[in-house]
A and B are shown apart, each in its own frame.
Chain A
Amino acid sequence: MSAISVNGRTYEINAAPDTPLLWVLRDELGLTGTKFGCGVAQCGVCTVHVDGIAVRSCQIPVGTVGQRVITTIEGIGETSAGARIQKAWLDLEVVQCGYCQPGQIMSAAALLTANPDPDDGAIDAAMSGNLCRCGTYVRIRQGIKHAARS
Chain B
Amino acid sequence: MKRKVVLCLAALAVIVGAAALGVTGWMVFQPGPYAFATGKPVPLSAYQGPAPTGVPVELAGADPAMRGAYVAAMADCQACHTAPGGKPFAGGRAFVLPFGTIYTPNLTPDPETGIGNWTDAQFLNAVHRGVAPDGSHYYPAFPYPSYTMLSDEDVLAIKAHLFSLLPVKQANRPNTFGFPYNQRWLMAIWSALFNPDERFRPVPEQSPEWNRGAYLVEAAGHCGECHTPRNLMQALDQRAKFGGATAEGWTAYNISADKVSGIGDWSAEELAAYLSTGHAHGRGVASGPMGEAVELSLSQLTKADIGAIVTYLKSVPAVKGDLPALAGPAPATPQLAGLDNPVGKRIFEGNCASCHAWTGAGAAREEAQLTGVRAVNDPGGANVALMVLHGSGAPTPHRPHMPGFGNAYSNDEIAAVTNYVTARFGARSSTLTAADIAALREAN
- Hey, which bits of chain A sit against chain B, CB under 8 A? 17-18, 40-42, 44, 50, 53-56, 59-61, 63-65, 114-115, 121-122, 124-126, 128-129
Contacts and interface: CB of A to CB of B under 8 A. Distances in A.
Nearest to A126: B358
B350 interface: yes
B364 A55 contact: yes
Chain A interface, DSSP helix/strand/loop, else mixed: mixed
Contacts of A128: 349-350, 353
5 closest A-B pairs by beta carbon, nearest first, are A128-B349, A55-B364, A129-B354, A55-B363, A41-B354
B353 A50 contact: no
Nearest to A128: B349
Contact of B354 (A17, A18, A56, A64): A56
Contact of B357 (A53, A60, A124): A53
Interface string B341-375: 00000000111011101100001110000000000
Given A55-B364, A61-B398, A64-B364, 4 more contacts: A42-B350, A65-B364, A114-B332, A125-B353
A59 B355 contact: yes
Contacts, number: 51
A18 B337 CA distance: 39
Contact of A42 (B334, B351, B358): B351
Contacts of B355: 41, 56, 59
Contact of A115 (B333, B351, B400): B333
A50 B355 CA distance: 13
Given A60-B364, A122-B333, A17 B349 contact: no
B34 to A, nearest CB: 39
Given A18-B398, A59-B400, A125-B358, A54 B351 contact: no
B425 to A, nearest CB: 14
Contact of A54 (B363, B397, B398): B363
A59 B354 CA distance: 10
Nearest to A50: B364
A17 B355 CA distance: 19
B365 A60 contact: yes
Contacts of A115: 333
B39 interface: no
A128 B269 CA distance: 37
B403 interface: yes
B232 interface: no
B6 interface: no
B365 A64 contact: yes
Contacts of B351: 42
Contacts of B334: 125
Contacts of A125: 334, 336, 349, 353, 358
A74 B398 CA distance: 28
5 contacts: A18-B398, A41-B355, A53-B364, A65-B364, A128-B353
A38 to B, nearest CB: 10
Contacts of B353: 125, 128-129
A59 B403 contact: no
Contacts of B398: 17-18, 61, 63
Interface in B386-404: 397-398, 400, 403
A54 B398 CA distance: 22
Contacts of A65: 364
A11 to B, nearest CB: 18
Contacts of B364: 50, 53, 55, 60, 64-65
A129 B346 CA distance: 10
A8 B354 CA distance: 25
A40 B400 CA distance: 11
